[in-house]
Amino acid sequence: MTESDGRGTTASSEASRARGGRPRASSRRTLEDAASELFLEQGYAQTTIDHIAQRAGVGRNTFFNYFAAKSDLLWLDADETLAALPTILEDAPETSRPSAALEHALVALAARHPHRAVPIALSQREPMATHDEFLAAGLGRFLRVARALSDFLAQRAPGVDGALVRAAANASTAAAATGAGAWAMAGVERGDLADEVRRAVAPVCRGFAPVLDAPGR
């Protein structure tokens, strides 16, 4: 669900609805397109899963083949990027200090995200009324990222108190989310996402460096 698509109700979509939905193959993106149109037309809260499935020309069960909940549609592009985190953590250089490896992982994750994949749930948050739901659905994702980073740091800095490891993971995750949010809300003149995330997470990671990187932990 990206800002650049400029989705809305078009003549073709009106014709499709007249025929009872889109006569095209089901996919995650097809459902996303249908949801985007409906959220713009009638708002997020007024749109049901049945509405989305009908607009997409598929059955309700097909929706659940791709998404566990309606709110997952708001995070489609971000979820595809977040799925790369385990690989990024596995590939982190073994010789890097824990704080540097943490910063590198979050910046590398941001670099994986397509530049034009800005959630329309944020860029069109007023007509869609999706902002609060987007944030609420993001909580579980925040916690999963923080948990993955905490496990990563626990391996890289085995002598550090677990509470401090979790604090570093939570703080760096929050910083990355803040940088990503600023990037998404900056409009069409936004810069590079990786640069925004680096600017946000670097002070946090470096602030935890004396604890995470201390010799003889």
Question: Is it true that domain 74-212 has CATH number 1.10.10?
Answer: no
Instruction: Say what the pTM is.
Output: 0.82
- Parts of the chain belonging to CATH 1.10.10.60: 3-67
The tens digit of pLDDT for each residue in 139-175 reads 999 999 999 999 999 999 999 999 999 999 999 999 9
CATH placement of domain 3-67: 1.10.10.60
What's the pLDDT score for residue 10? 39
Which part of the chain has CATH 1.10.357? 74-212
In tens, the pLDDT along 78-104 reads: 999 999 999 999 999 989 999 999 999
Q: What DSSP character marks residue 187?
A: -
Q: How many residues make up the chain in this entry? A: 217
Q: Is the pLDDT of residue 16 over 80?
A: no
